[in-house]
Structure 1
């Protein structure tokens, strides 16, 4: 007989599942009504969907898709499907007319197959399921070209691969971030430390949403202490959870304190960005900040590069990868040497 604890887990799961399904069908119905009303107002103008709802780095890397879709549909009303935490990344794009908040892949599938859209550019790979919905999303373009979760990085960077998944030619453009003046003004009010010569700080990002991408906390502490001891630049940590706990007048953590676009603006002002493969590294690429990026084996991908544009061309970036080893095994000496090469001759402070 099942234990009380197991019975409780089953009923909690059922409650969550059916509650989610009710929300999914309710919001999909409302969204469909809004879209049909919008379509009537548009008249002959096409209603176009770009679908890439997560993750942060994927959305930033694939920003050029919005520009390409606008080129193809200059009179279209273009909407980007996005999960709520990432709305900022698309809300200010000049080539988009709006966005639609995706509740889950099942919600997305219901709208995709409604027939309301005239053109759909779906950048998602097949079989990325919701844990509650019965839908098994399939992207026909991805299936046609044989692009799956186990091989997409073998084909090229994120933009190069996902643009083909969307049915577009392979793209290699430089990504951009659109940061409104209001965000820049908010960052102006933050106590972001500056170097004596007026240049920006060194910005670090140490922890991703997937632990195998990360570099050990002890290495980050050693690197930050070395930077503070030998260079005049302040060091700022960004991200969600702080990793570095050093107390020093030229070190500051903004972890958990900034919005996505505020984080991008702090990175834009940086003298140098140092980070693991995660969303902020894509921000650095998109805002034109020089970087030192730490990579390592990811699943079965050994020699992969997530970035298009400037970082793919090797401009202003040092990309470190101890091939066939996880990022955690990247030697500290490699990182320190790469940072030193980017900063130039040490200046004792």
Structure 2
């Protein structure tokens, strides 16, 4: 006989599943109608879709795709298909005419099958399904490349690989972020100390992270050794200390506000995650902490200046996860960037 907790869990899952599927149907219908109406106003202009709906670092790294697609379709109406948390990353791009919020990969499949788009540049790898939907998203171009979630980081940086998955040449440009003046004013209103060291300590995946005690040790050493203020960004605070030159902005900033804070930094120190891609796109000198991720040992996700080794130090304990990265290696990298310590 099924226990009450298992029974409740089963029916909670079923409720969420069928609610999601019904919501997907209505979301698809409304978007299809919207796109049909949009196409009726475009005349002979093609409706062009760029599809890379998540993750933060992937979208930032692949920003040059928008510029390449605009070069190919100067008269096209170009939209980027994106999940709601990442709208900011594409909203202000000058080469885009708009964006469309994706509910889930299953909805993406329905819109592609509808033929509503005149041209599609799909950067997704096949078979990343919605947890509730039966549809299996397939990208024939990435399949021809032999691209899978087990090997994609072995093929090259994110832009190099995903641009080819979209049917474009392998792109290698510097990514850019487009930050409106309204966001700059919001960051200015925070009255941050000038030329800070910005740190980002926790990713969405524990395998990318460095221990909290190491971060706290590093920040204490920095405050004792250098005159720079230190700002922590991210979702959850990791550093737990009070100091007039330390400030946590975790959970307080939008994506583009975070990017602007990093852009103003003297130095960015962080794990391999979305904010590190912001540092690359913003021209900020960076120290990136990286280790083995699943079976990926020697990989680099960045294009442009970080790929060329300009303004960046990648601290990688090869063959070991980031959590095992020696503290001394990171401290040395910081010291090499900031110069000989000066007692405060």
2:5 is aligned to 5
2:278 is aligned to 283
Inter-partner Cα distance in structure 1 for 2:325 and 2:170: 31
Inter-partner Cα distance in structure 2 for 1:236 and 1:191: 12
2:340 is aligned to 345
2:66 is aligned to 66
Inter-partner Cα distance in structure 1 for 2:98 and 2:242: 43
Runs of 4+ residues over 2 Å off in structure 1: none
Q: How does 1:36-75 map to 2 (within 5 A)?
A: 36-75=36-75
Q: Find out whether 1:272 has 2:262 as its counterpart.
A: no
User: What is the DSSP-based 3-state SS (H/G/I as helix, E as strand, rest coil) of the residue aligned with 2:103?
Assistant: coil
2:15 is aligned to 15
Q: How does 1:63-142 map to 2 (within 5 A)?
A: 63-142=63-142
Inter-partner Cα distance in structure 1 for 2:328 and 2:5: 50
Q: Find out whether 1:260 has 2:225 as its counterpart.
A: no
Inter-partner Cα distance in structure 1 for 2:152 and 2:172: 15
1:332 is aligned to 327
Inter-partner Cα distance in structure 1 for 2:45 and 2:118: 9
- Deviation of residue 113 (structure 1)? 1.1
Inter-partner Cα distance in structure 1 for 2:335 and 2:8: 56
- Deviation of residue 7 (structure 1)? 1.2
Q: Indicate which of 216, 219, 222 corresponds to 2:214.
A: 219
Deviations 1:22-77 (A, max 9, x none): 10010100000010111111011000000000000000000000000000000000
Inter-partner Cα distance in structure 1 for 2:237 and 2:226: 22
Q: Indicate which of 308, 311, 334 corresponds to 1:316.
A: 311
- Deviation of residue 8 (structure 1)? 1.2
Deviations 1:255-276 (A, max 9, x none): 0000000000000000000000
Alignment RMSD, CA only? 0.6
Gaps (5+ residues) in structure 1?
195-199
Inter-partner Cα distance in structure 1 for 2:132 and 2:83: 17
Inter-partner Cα distance in structure 2 for 1:145 and 1:158: 14
Deviations 1:270-292 (A, max 9, x none): 00000001100000000000000
- Deviation of residue 191 (structure 1)? 3.1
How many equivalent residue pairs?
A: 344
Which stretch of structure 1 is more off in the superposition, 227-236 or 6-15? 6-15
Inter-partner Cα distance in structure 2 for 1:305 and 1:218: 26
1:303 is aligned to 298
TM-score (norm 2): 0.99
Q: Find out whether 1:170 has 2:170 as its counterpart.
A: yes
Inter-partner Cα distance in structure 1 for 2:140 and 2:196: 46
- Deviation of residue 145 (structure 1)? 1.0
- Deviation of residue 303 (structure 1)? 0.2
User: What is the DSSP-based 3-state SS (H/G/I as helix, E as strand, rest coil) of the residue aligned with 2:114?
Assistant: coil
User: What is the DSSP-based 3-state SS (H/G/I as helix, E as strand, rest coil) of the residue aligned with 1:281?
Assistant: helix
Deviations 1:149-172 (A, max 9, x none): 011111100000101111111111
1:197 is aligned to none
Gaps (5+ residues) in structure 2?
none
1:292 is aligned to 287
Q: How does 1:221-240 map to 2 (within 5 A)?
A: 221-240=216-235
